[in-house]
Amino acid sequence: MAGVVLSDAFWRGKRVLLTGHTGFKGSWLAMKLNAWGAQVTGYALPPDATPCLSQVAGVDALIDGRHGDLRDIHALHAVVDEVKPEIVLHLAAQALVRRGYEDPLGTYSSNVMGTLNLLEAVRQVGGVRACVVVTTDKVYANQEWAWPYRENEALGGHDPYSSSKACCELLVQSFAASYFPPARHGEHGLAVATARAGNVLGGGDFAADRLVPDILASWDAGRPVVLRYPDAVRPWQHVLEPLAGYLQLAQGLYEQGTLFQGAWNFGPTDADCCSVAELVAAMSRLWPDAPGFSLQPVSLHEAGMLRLDSSKARQLLGWRPRWGLQQCLERTLAWHQAWKRGDEVCSLSLQQIAEHWETQ
């Protein structure tokens, strides 16, 4: 299997349907695709919080942003039929563990039935060449072991969010095998893959119950950040790292068909996997007079040890992370400080996108 040389020229003029463009990762991806000249149609619920990256960066003005619910199959089908995308990047989801506990019905219906509706619309309309469904690193049946999870490890999920994403993985596998089998690629022309990324950081993440947004909000207010699981180890990476992987994977699916079908991990190097407390300490070194943290033990279960093995993406796709954790934190803080000053953050985001692309 040959690798994939990610090319901005490939994306120029491509019709792309991006679900979840109002979310954190979706906003960054929309800006990157727009900068590369893709014809992007976004489909997502309106932002449910203020501020949010899609609004402060003016994402809807950069792309053809539509607001709608993936659980409305008729409205979704109409958009797919109108746009007739060549490539589908599915990021829309209920993406928070604690919200999954609070609203399991909404979490499962969004993450499972929303994905099913999208795949069915793609099947009925036809013409899509590549579809990447983004899930999470939490789809694995976590054994709390020290070594990283590979794509062939057992799926699971203790909490509703993680479980819903594991269900999503099984759904995509089944749907692809049933309707888009590799042996009949010449007939249907579609290659499908899932992407599992680590814990992403970056400017413009304002979501509650995520570590870095909680740190920034607390320290801006001059108080220690409250940590629930200081010893939890996670695969931290800048948001642009997995987004480059998604694009590289989609390009591979488009150009080489079923050679790249299946599941893919996109995670940082082992050196950038660290505990929550260690990440807070690293941020403290970049923040003068940082207020530190306090502890608030909770009863809700979250995985203690979680790392990803991305050897498959490195060896077969040719993907690799470009920024280490230190660079990631520096750029996250630079973005946050610029936003607090009232700077125009879309330009800053595009500058960071260009810097990431140029990093060798």
Task: Kindly list the domain boundaries of the chain, sorted by start residue.
Answer: 8-201+236-270+308-324
- Please name every residue paired with 17 in a beta bridge, in sequence order, or none if there are none: 41, 88
Q: Which CA distances in Å does 302 have to 46, 98, 198, 231, 237?
A: 28, 9, 15, 11, 19
| Residue-level pLDDT at 305 | 74
Q: Which candidate, 274, 346, 279, 338, places its Cα nearest to that of 306?
A: 274
pLDDT in tens, the chain (360 residues): 568 999 999 999 999 999 999 999 999 999 999 999 999 999 999 988 889 999 999 998 999 999 999 999 999 999 999 999 999 999 999 988 888 999 999 999 999 999 999 999 999 999 999 999 999 999 999 887 778 999 999 999 889 999 999 999 999 999 999 999 999 999 999 999 999 998 899 999 998 888 999 999 999 999 999 998 898 888 999 999 999 999 999 999 999 999 999 999 999 998 899 999 999 999 999 999 999 999 877 656 566 678 899 999 999 999 999 999 999 999 999 999 999 999 999 999 999 999 999 997
* CA 191/CA 188 separation, integer angstroms: 9
Contact 264, 224 (CB under 8 A): no
Cα(140)–Cα(155) distance, integer angstroms: 4
Specify the fold of 8-201+236-270+308-324.
Rossmann fold (3.40.50)
CB distance 11 to 247 below 8 Å = yes
Radius of gyration for the alpha carbons in the chain, expressed in angstroms and rounded: 19
- 267 and 308 in contact (C-beta within 8 Å)? yes
Strands 233-238 and 273-275 turn out to be: antiparallel
Tokens 């740190």 identify what position? 215
